[in-house]
Amino acid sequence: MLCADTMRYSKTIIAFFFLASCRNRESIKIENQLPDNSKIVTIKLLDSLGNITCLIPNRYDTSFYWTNWGDCGKPCTKEEYRFQLKSFPIAKKSGWFWKGKPKDSIDQFTIVHSGYFPFHETNDTTAKIISMLAKHREQYLLVEELEPKITTDFIEKINDLYFYIIVIDLFDSTKAQYSKKVFGGTLIRGNDVEFQYELLTNKTDSTCNNFIENSRKLLRTIKISNRI
C-alpha cells in the first residue's frame, strides 16, 4: 500500500506529465532539420533528476506514468513515462505483473530510470557512458534475442551530455513485420536515464520508412534542466 505522501506525489507527477507543454518548436535548436508533425513536451522526473524537454510525434495522443516493480527489491524498480497512440493497447511492464509486449503493433516513446537514486556528485564521463553502452548491449542481446542482433551503436554528444545510442532495424519475413528501435541513454548525477523509441508494424508507410531517422532526430532535441 502506498503511503499518503507517495500517493500525493504520484498524483502531482501524473498531473504534470499529462499536462506536457506544447510550446513553440523554435525554442529547441538542433543541427538537423526537425521531423515534421512533432510537438514539444516537458516531463518532470521523480525526485531531483530534473525536467526533460524534447520533441515527440504529434500522433502520440496519450501518455501515462507507472512504477515497474522489480523482482529483486528496490534496486530493480524502474520508473517509466510513456507517450503513444491512444488507439494502441496500454501495456505497463512490471516485474510482478507482465504478460509481455503486444505482438502486433507498437508505436511509442518511453523514458525509463531507476526508482532508486544513488546520487553521485562526480562528473559523468565518457568512460562511464561507454561502460553503460556495453551493459545495455548485453542486456538487449540477452532479453530481446534479436537476429541479426543490433544494427549499430555509438556515443554521441547531445546538448552538452554524452549519450550511448543503440539502433535496431529488423524485418521478420515469416511475420511480414518490421521491428525498429532507437535506444539512447545518459547519466544524471550517476543515474542511468534511457529514452526508448519503438515501432512494431507490418505497414510500409512513411512512419515505418522514416522511423529510425526521425527517432534519432527527436533524440537530439532532448534537454535536461533543473538538475539539483
Quote the CA–CA distance of 146 and 180 in Å, as a whole number: 12
Mean pLDDT of 216-224: 95
Q: How confident is the model at residue 46 (pLDDT cuts 50, 70, 90)?
A: confident
Q: What is the mean pLDDT of the segment spanning 21-48?
A: 69
Quick: pLDDT tens for 137-196: 777 766 555 455 678 889 899 998 899 999 999 898 899 999 999 999 998 877 889 999
Query: Helix %, strand %, coil % for the chain, to 5?
Result: 25, 35, 40
pLDDT tens for 105-130 read 899 999 999 877 665 555 556 788 88
Q: How many CA atoms lie within 13 A of 121 on its CB side?
A: 0
Largest Cα separation within the chain, whole Å, is 51
pLDDT at 133 over 50: yes
| Band of residue 49 on the pLDDT scale cut at 50, 70, 90 | confident
Residue 4 — very low, low, confident or very high, per pLDDT cuts 50/70/90? Answer: very low
CA-to-CA distance for 225 and 223, rounded, in angstroms?
A: 7
- Say how far apart CA 135 and CA 166 lie, in whole Å: 11
Q: Report DSSP state, residue 97.
A: S
Neighbouring CB atoms inside 10 A of 91's CB total 14
Q: What is the pLDDT of residues 62-103, one digit of tens each?
A: 999 998 886 666 667 889 999 999 998 887 766 555 455 556
Instruction: Provide the whole-model pTM.
Output: 0.79
DSSP 120-147: --S---HHHHHHHHHHHHHHHHHHT--S
Nearby residues of 208 by Cβ (< 8 Å), 6 or more positions away: 178, 180, 199, 201
- Please state, in angstroms and rounded to a whole number, the distance separating the CA atoms of residues 117 and 21: 26
